[in-house]
Amino acid sequence: MDIDVIDMEDPAVGNDCATGLDRRGVRSTRIVMYGMCNGVGQMVQDILAVAPCGGLNVLRIWSHGRPGGQTVSGGLAGEEGRVMHWTGISVANIGQLQDTLARLRRAFAPGARVELRGCSVAEGNQGEQLLTRLSQIWGVTVQGGTVSQTGIDWVPPVHQADPPNGAMSC
């Protein structure tokens, strides 16, 4: 199973993503997010409602990003100053979100990957930290771009962090 989480709070980004996936004929389960506090918690709940244990191969999160941060449910407003509102995942709030995010670990299949599709998410030391921490929490490969991302194809370079011990079994 593949899941695309699409933040529609910025309709230009969300619609561009959805249209690109449609044109490419991508067959995935889509979870649409809008601006809300605790969007990360809602995303986790929505994924667990549809993903069978050990059945999630690819999780793509489409929204805005910044070095060391991936927005989930806030559009442009989720970019700055919303660390405690949990509208996204960042180096600044991953400690508080760790237990919530860890709930997803059982959903991932062996060899699964997560793609953080926001702009510049993997840039610099903070980007590397975010990918590494998420890979450790989820037990899967986590990828992110270091520059602005447009459309549905990666704009290189793309970095990735690989898990130390693999996915958890059910």
| Side chain identity at residue 10, one-letter code | D
Separation of alpha carbons 99 and 101, rounded Å:
6
**What is the per-residue pLDDT for 75?**
61
How many of the other CB atoms lie within 10 Å of CB of 151?
11
User: Cα(first)–Cα(last) distance of the chain, in Å?
Assistant: 16
Separation of alpha carbons 9 and 114, rounded Å:
21
**What is the per-residue pLDDT for 169?**
46
Residues 121 and 93 sit within 8 Å (Cβ to Cβ): no
- What is the mean pLDDT, run by run of 10 residues, along the chain of 170 residues? 95 94 97 92 98 97 95 70 73 94 97 97 97 97 97 96 68
Tokens of 55: 């059945």
Read off the pTM. Answer: 0.93
How many of the other CB atoms lie within 10 Å of CB of 26?
15
Residues 89 and 101 sit within 8 Å (Cβ to Cβ): yes
Compute the chain's Rg from CA coordinates.
14
DSSP E strand stretches across the chain: 2-7, 29-33, 56-62, 65-66, 69-71, 88-90, 108-116, 141-145, 158-161
Separation of alpha carbons 9 and 17, rounded Å:
13
**What is the per-residue pLDDT for 37?**
85
The closest alpha carbon to 116, from 52, 166, 43, belongs to 43
